[in-house]
Amino acid sequence: MANKNLQNTSRIISLATFFFFFLILAANADKNSDNFSRKLSPKKLGLKREKLSHLHFYFHDIVSGKNSTAVRVAEAQTTNTSATLFGLITIMDDPLTVRPEPSSKRVGSAQGMYASASQSGTGLLMAFNFVFTEGKYNGSTLSILGRNPVFSPLREMPIVGGSGIFRFARGYVQARTVNVDFKTGDAVVDYNVYALHY
């Protein structure tokens, strides 16, 4: 009987030693691995409570004249015969102001591109950043990526990210055309921005 207990104790010690050795190997393998990611606590990045910010400004898309803020950079062979200008790509650095008048206080720029992406209606693919230059938002950005059916009275596009004060941003923007000059193509658009961020 004593022999049997000694054998059982020996097996238990052997199994415990094996599992302990396995755990040490597993822990060291993780430390020496080539992993490029790890989990972090939001607090380590200084992220506190998420808040909702509402911003309101006017976007000035100036495609005419020598001081244009939006320029055509590419088009398809069929763009000029398309009723919707399908295939046209425009790069912009449009001013953002506090009022619809271009001379009002500038708070930033809309930098990026838009492309005529619909063959059956006027729908733009918008990919751009709101780059802010005033107040506590100076140096921060919000990234927008979405469809803009420009002749709809109210359009909505998603916020897909941000930087600076808008790190980890998400939300949406609403665009409403205030004025468009059909001769020149210049437009003023009223933007309401609703951004969740930390």
**Residue 177's closest CA among 151, 141, 140, 198?**
151
Structure tokens at 189: 């658009």
Residue 50 has pLDDT above 60, yes or no: yes
Could you tell me the sign of the dihedral formed by the alpha carbons of 61, 63, 68, 70, in that order? Answer: positive
Task: Please say whether the dihedral angle defined by the alpha carbons of residues 172, 58, 63 and 129, taken in this order, is positive or negative.
Answer: negative
- pTM of the full predicted structure? 0.79
For the residues 96-115, what does the mean pLDDT come to?
A: 98
Q: Is the pLDDT of residue 186 over 80?
A: yes
**CA gap 94, 63 in Å, rounded:** 10
Residue 111 φ/ψ region, left for φ over 0, alpha for ψ in the -120 to 50 degree band, beta for the rest = beta
How large a percentage of the chain has pLDDT more than 90?
71
35-39, 51-55, 154-158, 187-191: range with lowest mean pLDDT: 35-39
Domains of the chain: 49-197 (2.40.480.10)
Task: Report the pLDDT value the prediction gives residue 41, as an integer from 0 to 100.
Answer: 80
Q: What is the mean pLDDT of residues 83-90?
A: 93
pLDDT at 36: 79
